[in-house]
Amino acid sequence: MKQMKMIALLAILALAFGTSAAQTTATAAPANGAVPSVKDGNSQSDPAFRDRYPRYKLRSGDIFDISFELSPEFNQTVSVQPDGFITLRGVGDVHVAGQSVPELTITLRSAYDKILHDPLISITLKDFEKPYFIADGQIGRPGKYDLRGDTTLTEAIAMAGGFNDSAKHSQVLLFRRVDDQWVSAQIIDVKKMQATKNLKEDPMLHPGDMLFVPKSRFSKIRPFLPTASMGTFTKTY
Domain ranges of the chain: 2-54+131-235, 63-127
pTM: 0.52
SS3 for 144? strand
Residue ranges of E strands in the chain:
63-68, 76-79, 85-88, 92-95, 121-127, 132-137, 143-146, 172-177, 183-188, 210-213, 224-226, 233-235
51-104 tens-digit pLDDT? 556 788 898 999 999 999 999 999 999 999 999 999 999 999 999 999 999 999
Residue 21 pLDDT greater than 60, yes or no = no
DSSP label at 33?
-
pLDDT value, residue 66: 97
What stretch of H or E contains 165?
A: none
Domain 63-127 classification at class level: alpha beta
User: Any alpha helices (H) in the chain, and if so which ranges?
Assistant: 2-16, 21-24, 47-50, 101-112, 153-159, 190-196
CATH architecture of 2-54+131-235: Roll (3.10)
99 or 47: which leads in pLDDT: 99
